[in-house]
Structure 1
């Protein structure tokens, strides 16, 4: 799997939903074209309810669960020495 900047943008936007962010989001509040494009791609993939952000779909919530598990595996807490 190739990790390109577009995928990073989508993961970053998805993480904003998972980090206790708003229940609904409007990406047009953010003037960054990469954020708007990421939302449009995520909508096309069925992860969010509108191309402007909206809310997570069931698939979007499932994606967050997988993403959080992966991040927890890659970034375990430090153990005391």
Structure 2
């Protein structure tokens, strides 16, 4: 299985959540990029966020977002020396 664009959109959306607090969610407005609107709907269908247009992370969503942020940290390009 490969990372396809729709999955990348979901991962990118998860990166918008602040993992330092459970009291802050996100809102994906109806006029946002259609790929982000669709990604939010899919994450909601998967039970990772509380609302189809964002909301808060569920317990599973928080775990997934933690993994997404960790993966990004491991894979990003190192700073030039």
Same fold (TM over 0.5): yes
Instruction: Write the deviation string for residues 37-67 of structure 1: whole angstroms up to 9, x where unpaired.
Output: 0000000011100101001101111001111
Gaps of 5+ in 2: none
Larger C-alpha radius of gyration, 1 or 2?
1
Structure 1 unpaired stretches of 5+? none
Name the counterpart of 1:15.
15
Q: How many residues align?
A: 79
8 A contact 2:9–2:36 mirrored in 1: yes
TM-score (norm. length: structure 1): 0.79
The one of the two structures with greater contact order (alpha-carbon pairs below 8 A, sep at least 6) is 2
Change (3 A) 1:2 1:78: same
Tell me the residue number matched to 2:74: 73
In the superposition, the TM-score normalised over structure 2's length comes to 0.79
Rounded to whole Å, the distance in 2 between the matches of 1:64 and 1:40 is: 16
Give the CA RMSD over aligned residues. Answer: 2.4
